Structure 1
């Protein structure tokens, strides 16, 4: 009897192991102009077995003085890029498509393709997909979608595009970009102001859009926020968005005092990290906690009917990553159905 009991236990264990879900891949956006990973960023990638990086290659903006779109701040790659599967991301300011004539769109597509190829050649990188990031509107959708189609005709590569929540909810007006898949940007959903809401993620605002996600016709990945910033508030109005700033620096500076609401108050006029603060300016920190990230995946599980592919965290920067346990990204990704 004992022999059969142990055989049964072994079979149950074997069945449970077979049914265990494989670890969902973890991916990150990289949004600096110089690709160079520090030790902590490498540890995060290794801990979470991340192999795919969505690397911002350059921006495209329409410069009035040149009367044409121009590339802005192309990325500089180093040899460590070879350790990853790289997907170039091109951020295109919406005003580019407001001012661009339809007849000039094929030329822009060719220039973008040529610059991507040039960056790849600089480090012998082979990429098989390109992602476009543009907050297009009803008035620019025709030009933007034509640009995407022109690029596809030139390169025959798989394409993806970032999708904002408002573009999901109002898809009949904003249209569906002609790409293979979308990336739902699940952040920056609130107004940037001095109230008590979090402009990066606010559950009550997300709930206005969640029910629309499952009916969106593109297959979607989702981008989650692991960045932070602070709002500089003067006389009740936001006067600056403080990026890449360590809030603990305010706690050690005698020019500032922390308030009961978790904000900092400038006691004296001063300069800090290149920003000027007047007396009584407030600094309101905003970020998304680990619990918030898990809550977001619970909401996605509830509203998307298993239509979400992978999670991409924005962005890979040790300034922000130090606020989280190193394995939280793996936990969040595995929490998605």
Structure 2
């Protein structure tokens, strides 16, 4: 009898261990030109045991007046970056590959590699992955994919790429980038206009793409939106995108009238948060509330057979973080386990 009791205890303990799934790792994108974390940002990273940051190193753009693509606003790092595993992220504007000649791809590869190395050397960093962020199209995919292949020839690290929902749905036309893995950018899926839709996340629009995620052939992490922005509307047309704006400041500003819970109107010409508003301009605030973040993870689970890897939140900035309770990251992570 004692033998069977011991066996029963063992089986129950084994079942309990099997039910306890390890926490899914979470990370953040860092999208500023100078690296430096304030106390609130450090607290969030510490509380959720975040050890990896996806850091925008620089952009690449082929400006109309230029003869070659050029780096834009390389990041300045400080020594605190050494506390984290860093994944350099290079944002490449699509027009770079529209204008780039195939004969110049090698030059771009070498220049990008050299600048990444210089930034790493500034703080003696060793990075094991690099990520390329480009919203490529059918007309630019050949140049972009060839760039990746040639970068892969000289790299000694993993290469990942950002993947938009339309690139998932139309993969036969847009192609699969030759990378180790992708990051599904689960936001910016609607039109930026004055309608009542939310251009950052709209469930009805997401549902047009979700069924295609399951069959995408790359391993995928997923990026979720923490950011908000505002659309400045003049005569019904968007004239400015207001980034990094805390919209609660409009609630108590006598220069503005509250039209709805996410719309404001300028009573007269004025400056606010570094932007100029004419009389009658409207501001439409767009944000992804906590309940929508949880809804997103339910959809991802449903349409991916739980094959999504890391969660990466965009982006690490206290202006974004304070809009949520600190336990939102645990809730989102638990809903995917």
- The question of a shared fold, defined as TM-score above 0.5 by the shorter chain, is answered with yes
Deviations 1:136-190 (A, max 9, x none): 0000000000000110001132100000000000001100000000000000000
Q: What's the counterpart of residue 240 of structure 2? A: 240
Q: Which moved more, 1:26-35 or 1:324-333?
A: 324-333
Residues of 1 paired with 2:188 and 2:136: CA distance? 15
Please show how residues 316-327 of structure 1 align to structure 2 within 5 Å.
316-327=316-327
RMSD: 1.8
Gaps of 5+ in 2: none
8 Å CA contact 1:310, 1:333 repeated in 2: no
Q: What's the counterpart of residue 304 of structure 2? A: 304
CA displacement at 1:257 relative to structure 2: 1.5
Residues of 2 paired with 1:273 and 1:88: CA distance? 30
Residues of 1 paired with 2:155 and 2:5: CA distance? 61
Q: Write out the 4+ residue segments of structure 1 that deviate beyond 4 Å after TM superposition.
A: 4-11
8 Å CA contact 2:262, 2:286 repeated in 1: no
Q: Give the alignment's TM-score, normalised by structure 2.
A: 0.96
Residues of 2 paired with 1:120 and 1:82: CA distance? 10
Equivalent position SS for 1:142: helix
Q: What's the counterpart of residue 93 of structure 1? A: 93
Deviations 1:7-65 (A, max 9, x none): 96796366424421111111000000000000000011011111110000000001333
Deviations 1:175-214 (A, max 9, x none): 0000000000000000001111100000000000000001
Q: What's the counterpart of residue 141 of structure 1? A: 141
Residues of 1 paired with 2:102 and 2:156: CA distance? 21
Q: What's the counterpart of residue 111 of structure 1? A: 111
Equivalent position SS for 1:293: helix
Equivalent position SS for 1:144: helix
Q: Give the alignment's TM-score, normalised by structure 1.
A: 0.96
- Residue 37 (structure 2) pairs with residue 44 (structure 1): no
- Residue 28 (structure 2) pairs with residue 24 (structure 1): no
8 Å CA contact 1:47, 1:327 repeated in 2: no
8 Å CA contact 2:127, 2:157 repeated in 1: no
Please show how residues 1-337 of structure 1 align to structure 2 within 5 Å.
12=12, 15-337=15-337
